[in-house]
Amino acid sequence: MSVFRRAARRRGTPADYLVVGLGNPGDKYLGTRHNLGYEVIEAIAQGSMSSLDASKRDLARIALITQDENRIVLACPTTFMNLSGEAVSLLVRRNGIEQSSRVLVVHDELDLEPGRIKIKQGGSTAGHNGLKSIRQHIGTDDFVRIRMGVGKPPDPQNGRDWVLRRPSPTDRALLDSAVHVGVEAVKTVMASGVEQAMNEVNGRQP
């Protein structure tokens, strides 16, 4: 039985959306490129006057908010990036998420320049270990991605070190602006659908 079918059998009021920001827990990783997903989720929570509370049973910091009558679970997995799927699968089941299109994942993207954002649903994970883990654990890649550009390293072989470093002041300013756009991108997906959000966001320049 798929994770979504199990979720459909859950008792109680289900959530309408699960919005996940990818990153690594701990002060060591604060402000790194890999934690850009965390930053977007934290900004959404702050804007909703909510706090993300650590939940061992959910393997994440979570908050429950409401937008346009939608019940939304915000989550920052605390499993470390490469095991993000463990938390996402658990959260899908626990919150009764019945469709992969109701799972939104915000993550850093090497293939986009710093500050650039693109939305897509499904498709390749482009080597992103967090996305690979999610696909493995929920059994599909047909979830929505909010891809937050961080740019490529000068040496293509140093991608792992690059995402675990903090960006330059110039890039940091671009990423700070992108976080605000990422928040609006998430809200637009939920309010108007993926296609409308793509039309509004994907062509924007940093």
User: Does residue 16 contact residue 100 with C-beta atoms inside 8 Å?
Assistant: no
Q: Report d(CA 110, CA 26) in Å as an integer.
A: 22
For the residues 116-123, what does the mean pLDDT come to? 96
Q: How much is the mean pLDDT over the chain?
A: 93
Q: Report d(CA 42, CA 35) in Å as an integer.
A: 11
pLDDT at 159: 77
CA gyration radius, the chain: 16
pLDDT at 164: 93
Whole-prediction pTM value?
A: 0.93
Q: For the chain, first and last CA: distance in Å?
A: 43
Taking only the tens place, the pLDDT of each residue in 76-86 is 999 999 999 99
Taking only the tens place, the pLDDT of each residue in 148-198 is 999 998 887 777 889 999 999 999 999 999 999 999 999 999 999 999 999
Structural domain spans, the chain: 3-201
pLDDT at 121: 97
CATH number assigned to the domain covering 3-201: 3.40.50.1470
pLDDT band at 10 (very low <50, low <70, confident <90, very high): low
**Range 165-169 contact pairs with CB under 8 angstroms and sequence separation of 24 or more:** 165/32, 165/33, 166/31, 166/32, 166/33, 167/33, 167/114
More confident residue, 122 or 156: 122
Q: Any idea which residues carry the catalytic annotation?
A: 34
User: Does residue 138 contact residue 97 with C-beta atoms inside 8 Å?
Assistant: no
User: Does residue 82 contact residue 121 with C-beta atoms inside 8 Å?
Assistant: no
